[in-house]
Amino acid sequence: MPMTKPFVFLLCFGFAGFSGRAQVRAPKYANEFLSVGVGARALGMANTGVALTNDVTAAYWNPAGLGGLPNRYEVALMHNELFAGGAQYDYAGFATRLDSVSHLALSVVRFGTDNIANTLNLFDANGAIDYGRIQFFSVADYAFFVSYARRMPWLAGLRLGGSVKVIHRNVGSFATGWGFGFDLGAQLERGRWKFGLVARDVTGTFTVFSINTDQLYQTYLQTGNALTETSTEVALPRLVAGAGRQFTFGKKVGLLAALDLDLTFDGKRNAPIRTNLLSVDPRAGLELDYKRLVFLRAGAGKVQQVKDFDGSTRTTVQPDFGLGVRFGLPGISVKQFTIDYALTNLGNQSGTLYSNVFSVKAGF
């Protein structure tokens, strides 16, 4: 039955971490879908959002940034297609001011691939191919955030915040997972300087998977693998520190420069600074604006060592670019409406396949 082999292979590969006895694992890149980023503004600046973001998307980048929300209400939407449209990454967020010093936000992120053919039952009882037996399913990761931020009256320019997040992951009807964790953040403004620090997965984000062994038993029996009903995965804590500075040229032109450092503690990663304990991934971004209405953005990050077929290594840097426009829609009581676009390589390290990201934001 050669037509079923690719699907059987994918199932075995995807559930390889579940084989054997149920166990707690802390692999590199656990819940890595939450490292993609939200909002075309930050993505166009190489994900430098920890110190700068003070709108509804701050619930993702640094919940403390919600304390600088410029409007009573804000909503934002983003859509992005990865791997030449093979996967979709979507975001929606809502934020509101509770009182003069505190803010609340609700957000959801989805990263998924839909319409995957399930060919496990492609052959009928007589061994004949029956295309009517093909079913389709989705593989998707979800994250739900509830975020809160507060401006601290005892230190001007200081904001503190936190997010509670619920993770849901599913592989059609074959397996589901639920996880829980939280993030803590701080931002500080001093004149033209902005500083930010966020601790993600502070105590580790635990995700418990439940596997439908009834559907997978025969497949694993054929491949000689063991199958368990549950497994637990832990995303280890990480820190992201950032700084930015605002420059002005005359009365109409401004420039915002930012630098973020992503610090991970799950072993050596492909980053410029890496040890057995700590890896540091730097990224930098620029935003040029005209009267805070039109924006031109650029950034660079993901500095990595890539090995070629001849055994030599070379250093690669991912560039990002973006545009944005902001305007008002007084006829429908919208104080600010922003459309952002980013051209960024989110799904391919070869540098030949870029993603077009669009996001919109409205302030009421």
| Domains of the chain, residue spans | 2-318
The whole-number average pLDDT for the span 163-184 is 88
Q: Which of 114, 91, 220 is nearest to 172 (CA)?
A: 114
Q: What's residue 346's pLDDT?
A: 55
pLDDT digits (tens, 9 = 90+) for 169-178: 888 777 888 9
The whole-number average pLDDT for the span 187-196 is 94
pLDDT digits (tens, 9 = 90+) for 249-283: 988 999 999 999 999 988 888 888 888 888 999 99
Got the DSSP string for 26-73? --TTTTGGGGS-SSHHHHTTTT--TTT--STTHHHH-GGGGGG--SSE
pLDDT digits (tens, 9 = 90+) for 316-332: 888 999 999 998 766 55
Residue 220 clears pLDDT 80, i.e. is over it: no
pLDDT digits (tens, 9 = 90+) for 23-56: 555 566 778 888 888 999 999 999 998 999 999 9
CA atoms in the 13 A half-sphere facing the CB of 300: 5
Q: Which two tokens stand for residue 162?
A: 């936190």
Give the pTM.
0.82
